[in-house]
Amino acid sequence: MKQESASQSTPPASPSPSQTLELAAQRPRDDGDPPALWIFGYGSLVWRPDFAYSDSRVGFVRGYSRRFWQGDTFHRGSDKMPGRVVTLLEDREGCTWGVAYQVQGEQVSEALKYLNVREAILGGYDTKEVTFYPQDNPDQPLKALAYVATPQNPGYLGPAPEETIATQILACRGSSGHNLEYLLRLADFMQLCGPQAQDEHLAAIVDAVGTLLPCFCPTEQALALV
């Protein structure tokens, strides 16, 4: 009796929670409303989503901390000098603030297509389902799609002292601008969220940049970077 080949006997892989969320968002809803999806941004998406959306809300996700551990050879750096951008690190006590964008109808496929290039192909990020808590209504959390860089991707740089990260940020520029702009815009966003929004890692890098900046260029040139 012939044995079935491995390809015949192996069941198809089940979709991940994030894939299930993406697929559900692209199917018509039973109530007749257009399909909808929430996308959580915690890096450059908080100030430059660059895709059409129907609604946006400031808020946070629990169980994750933001870290400048992902290398960027396109947007904020180059192959020779990778910049540093953020990813999410699983952390039971962590809390990361950001912005969730709701896309509906045709916006869903357009946003996912755009973000697949920006975040996955050029950035090295994978998708992950997270629970988002709106700042103005945390008792009604939302399921959202987030783009997360894991240690398995080739651009992952991992941990380093904040002073080392600051030095790297000051030296790098990519197609979207200087790496310092990325850092400072993210810090500005956190200030707008209010005192309840804390990010010690981000604050330490900003402080390190403030200490190092006079060593790199005069004040006028430093301001020109951003």
Residues classed as catalytic: 119
Of 69, 124, 98, 82, the C-alpha closest to 190 is: 98
Q: Which two tokens stand for residue 53?
A: 């959306």
Helix or strand holding residue 91 (H, E): strand 83-104
User: Which positions ≥6 away from 130 have C-beta within 8 Å?
Assistant: 40, 61, 64, 88, 143, 144, 145, 146
**At which residue do the structure tokens 């200490």 appear?**
211
